[in-house]
A and B are shown apart, each in its own frame.
Chain A
Amino acid sequence: MAGFASLEAERQSRAGARVRHSGREAWLEQSVELNRFLAGVERRAFRIAEVALRDREDALDVVQVAMLRLAQNYVQRPSEEWQPLFYRILYNAINDCRRRRAVRNRLLGWLPGRRADDESGAEGEDPLARVPDGAPDPALRLMAGEAMERLERALQSLPARQQQAFALRCLEGMDVASTAAAMRCSEGSVKTHYFRALQVLRERLGEVW
């Protein structure tokens, strides 16, 4: 009887170890997958945030916030849901940042001798500083930089929802359903926002762009 009990205890111990081992393996796989997903979206998310906020530091902050929130709160969800979830979190962080900035500007507007940041801080920058590094040909870099600047200006003139629909559908390449999930609206709304955004961009950028 005692021998049977010890055998049973050993069997249970092995089963527990197997469960712990498989749980650890599952977590490692999930961790690798999360890292791969974030590596795939981080640069594009940064550029989308930078276009939306017109500020490099703020864009880095909101991308970091989105990564952390996704990793801490939604990593257990199926990985197919990560992309719309990530962009929903990112746009929530962007909206929070815009609200903070608006409050700060309102407060600064009351101070004598201070001009509130009218969200045109990027205009005072040296244009050469915005030319991206790493491109093989400086002439191509300059052309790409100019084209991107024109696109950024056109995007910034769009209403927030149209800008969001265009960024997710066109720039990030998400389908209508995922974009609707990220924007928390219907697929019909996504199509409407995207179509209007395209119309405005085509008018602003011109036929030769």
Chain B
Amino acid sequence: MEHDVDRHERTSRRARDVFDASVESLDDEVRSRLRGARIAAVSSAERRASRSAWRAWVPAAAVASAAIVAVLLWRSPEQLSTATFANGSGDGTVEAVELLADGDDLAMLENDLEFYEWLDATGLEAAGSTG
């Protein structure tokens, strides 16, 4: 058994020596082409790394943009209604919107001047009583 191990060891050592010699004696053309392939591989890794670095910011930018849009959409209706009611004519605006939304009432108002006069007088009276 010991003998077999020795012979195996000798065979593998001899094979390694022969292989090493064949590697050392590769011709210049093969060496040059291998060098070229190596340089291309290292360069491609560098290009890929730079692209990856740039791409790493894309998800962060997308999340930030989505957050900004979400905040704007959430804040805008509140700011609009606050601005409308803040100028003192908020009730009138709401009434006008309600009137405009009701088509029948609008048709009636267009043809009834007396109603306008009544409305005007009623408004003045109400202002006098509260003031």
Q: CB-CB < 8 A to B8: which residues of A?
A: 195, 198-199, 202
A144 and chain B: residue at smallest CB distance: B21
Give A173's nearest chain B residue, CB to CB. B16
Segment touching B, from A65-73, A97-105, A181-189: A65-73
A201 interface contact, C-beta 8 A = yes
Contacts of A118 in B (CB 8 A): none
Consensus secondary structure, chain A interface: helix
Total B residues in contact with A, Cβ cutoff 8 Å: 33
Q: Which residues in chain B, 1-49, are within 8 Å of chain A measured between CB atoms?
A: 7-8, 11-12, 14-16, 18-19, 21-28, 30-31, 33-35, 37-38, 40-42, 44-46, 48-49
B37 in complex: contacting residue of A63, A75, A133, A144, CB < 8 Å: A63
Tell whether B61 is near chain A: CB-to-CB under 8 Å: no
- Contacting residue for A209 out of B14, B30, B41, CB 8 A: B14
Binding site for B on A (CB under 8 A): 23, 27, 31, 34-35, 38-39, 42-44, 46-47, 56, 60, 63-64, 67-68, 70-72, 75, 132-135, 141, 144-145, 147-148, 151, 166, 170-171, 173, 195, 198-199, 201-202, 205, 207, 209
